[in-house]
Amino acid sequence: MSLHPVARQLLDDAAASDQPNSHLLPVEVARDNFERMFAGMDVQEVASVEELVVATGEEHIPVRLYRPRAGGVLPLVVYLHGGGWQMGSLASHDGVCRAIANESGCAVLSVEYRRPPEAKFPTAPHDCFAALVWAVDHADQLAIDRTRIAVVGDSAGGNLAAAVSLLARDDDGPELACQVLIYPATTFDLDRGFDVELEGYVLFRDEVQWHMDAYFSTPEDAKSDYASPLDADLSGLPATFVLTAEYDPLGKAGLALVERLRSQGVPTEHRQYDGMIHGFVQFPDLFDDATVAIGDIGAFLQRHVGTA
């Protein structure tokens, strides 16, 4: 399918602008630019939004709990935001968390994990796993069902969601009902993980390399199972839904992860959204497929956490 015309216009506008790409900017400027993309967007109403704090050893990280309806005990989605590990926040992903809460009927806990370059790998996956464990330990206080928990993430957050599922399996952590990986980064071997034929379709290889250089202290870190799930032992992971976009340089590696999950016995669903670009799910005002994708995620979650 051809590239969606709105996506084409976005890419053309970006190419014609005088704003440098993220990897050519100081990280704080890149972060501010990322946040401005989502400022002022229309968001769905939910029953409640609560700001909370999770202790991760000696540090504390903010989390935000969304509830689609008042009262009662709800299943929980732990949501891990994208943004190349260095960017993104509770604010940038506020809209998608609200939409998933309403569509799935689950409470959603969005996690503000510590970011590189200030906090190197494995800080981010450990923060995300700590938030999962904290939520289960405080299930009664949060009015969530500790037996019906999912983890969801987009892009870098999809990578972190896979890492959390692996950590939960390996460290005897909470049992997960399912995971949803939205156009995830699956490997840091860019010869496999980045499709050069789609260079410049939102992402650039040099930009991904910039994120890698910030995220890892040593090249060996990038080979960890909790960094590159494509090369990990995936057996025993929960039911998985992988979403990919047709015009995404990370898409082929996402498809490779689907094949590997299935080959290792993990019940895995996949949908490619034709004509779409990396990041499309956060723009329902621009792409009808963003709303479709949220509906697909909601339906998958409902089936696996029991809200259907």
3-class DSSP state of 204: coil
Q: Taking each helix axis from N to C terminus, what angle separates 156-170 and 123-137, rounded to the nearest 10 degrees?
A: 60
Two structure tokens written together for 154: 């987009």
Q: Are 112 and 89 in contact (CB under 8 A)?
A: yes
How far apart are the C-alpha atoms of 64 and 76, rounded to whole Å?
A: 12
Q: Which of 271, 277, 273, 300 is nearest to 289 (CA)?
A: 273
Q: Taking each helix axis from N to C terminus, what angle separates 94-104 and 288-305, rounded to the nearest 10 degrees?
A: 50
Nearest 10 degrees: Cα torsion 24, 29, 30, 31: 160
Contacts of 50 (CB under 8 A, 6+ apart): 64, 65, 67
Residue 50's H or E segment, with its range, is: strand 48-56
The residues that are catalytic are: 155, 248, 278
Locate all alpha helices (DSSP H) within 179-287, ordered by sequence.
190-193, 205-215, 251-263
Which amino acid, one-letter code, is at 31? R
Q: Looking only at Cα atoms, what is the longest distance across the chain?
A: 52
